[in-house]
Amino acid sequence: MYNMHIMHIGDFEFTEIRLIAELSELRKLAAAAARLGLSQSAASHALGRLRKRTGDPLFIRSNAGFQPTPYGERLGAAARQALNILLDGFASNEPFDPAQTTREFNVYMSDVGQMVFLPKMLAFLTTEAPQASLRACPIPLEQPGAALASGEVDLAVGFFTNLAAGFHQSVLFRERYVCVVRSDHPNFRSGMSAQAFAASPRALADASGMSHAVMEAELRKNGFSGTTRLVVPQFMVLPLVIASSDFLVIMPSRLAQAFSQLVPIKILRPPVPLRPYDIRVYWHERFNHDPANRWFRRALVQLFRE
């Protein structure tokens, strides 16, 4: 007579769980033992332990092999499902195949980053991962690390001061600031001067950007508070503004070079040295060993590291 009693997962050996799954499928003890690399005697002893522990015969010998009891059938199905889930978990860390992936990569990047990074990134994905897609995500003002920690966003690219604990990072390149004016600006016919800089009205993108806030602080420290007459939320509208006005804009050098291909502008050095800053790629430590994340961030380093 078999007696039911409370069981815990620690009562079972992994080999016993595998035996339940294999015997449920094969219905022959010798075949199940062979698949597990056990002797038939060892498999028989394991089945005896399981019967005693569960309080049920689990499998009954018949002319057609070992037939499961109702409880044995349910337990066999559960054991097979658990093993399949476990195998899928191990398989999820197999080498990533970019040529076959249909994954969408989500990346935090500013409007500046989109202008600088997206053309090369898209060209790279078209060649190396043609079925993958890319989403440029706006950077939230608060807690950008939350979506990176959850996996909702894969990487952050740019200048961040609030992604430290729990994050890894890799430097891509060092960026510097330049001044941009229209090509025939009357104040800068002879190049940059402190007087011309101070006399020119400034337009700027919203100073909530971290690196931009640092730059503004440096200017004030050197006595250049400036006259700001236009504030826009993003840099992208500024080329058209610059080309048809006397505004001066301070912006990252790579963005200025990209704008110079679109409108007639002049790129000048600032009147005082402005501290350069590093552009980095950031990822959460939870995904440090994730094959897809690792492949994508390494690709960014190869594309943009100086």
- H helical segments located in the chain: 14-26, 29-36, 40-54, 70-91, 111-128, 145-150, 194-199, 210-221, 238-243, 253-260, 291-304
Residue 1 forms part of a structural domain: no
Task: Please tell me the distance from the alpha carbon of residue 77 to that of residue 212, in angstroms, as a whole number.
Answer: 60
Shared domain check, 57 and 24: yes
Shared domain check, 287 and 170: yes
Shared domain check, 253 and 200: yes
Shared domain check, 287 and 138: yes
Residue 169 forms part of a structural domain: yes
Tokens of residue 286, six digits: 């939870």
Residue 98 forms part of a structural domain: no
Task: Give the pLDDT confidence score for residue 93 in this predicted structure.
Answer: 66
Shared domain check, 125 and 80: no
Shared domain check, 137 and 66: no
Shared domain check, 267 and 205: yes
For 18-56, the pLDDT digits (tens) are 999 889 888 999 989 998 899 999 999 999 999 998 899
Q: Which of 278, 283, 285, 276 is nearest to 299 (CA)?
A: 283
Tokens of residue 154, six digits: 């894969």
Residue 151 forms part of a structural domain: yes
Tokens of residue 90, six digits: 């191990």
Q: Which domain holds residue 36?
A: 9-91
| Domain count along the chain | 3
Shared domain check, 296 and 170: yes
Q: How far apart are the first and last CA of the chain?
A: 75
Task: Please tell me the distance from the alpha carbon of residue 55 to that of residue 57, in angstroms, as a whole number.
Answer: 7
Task: Give the pLDDT confidence score for residue 125 in this predicted structure.
Answer: 96
Shared domain check, 187 and 247: yes
Spans of the chain, pLDDT less than 50: 1-4, 207
Shared domain check, 284 and 167: yes
Do the Cβ atoms of 159 and 237 come closer than 8 Å? no
Eight-state DSSP code of residue 204: E
Cα angle 273, 275, 277; round to 5: 145
Residue 55 forms part of a structural domain: yes
Residue 4 forms part of a structural domain: no
Shared domain check, 71 and 17: yes
For 57-106, the pLDDT digits (tens) are 999 999 888 999 999 999 999 988 888 778 767 766 667 899 999 999 99
Shared domain check, 290 and 160: yes
Cα angle 105, 251, 268; round to 5: 140
Do the Cβ atoms of 239 and 262 come closer than 8 Å? yes
Do the Cβ atoms of 291 and 93 come closer than 8 Å? yes
Residue 2 forms part of a structural domain: no
In CATH, what number is assigned to the domain containing residue 153?
Answer: 3.40.190.10
In CATH, what number is assigned to the domain containing residue 33?
Answer: 1.10.10.10
Tell which of 68, 91, 114 closes a domain.
91
Q: What percent of the residues of the chain are helix, what percent strand, and what percent coil, each to the nearest 5?
A: 45, 20, 35
Tokens of residue 123, six digits: 């060209």
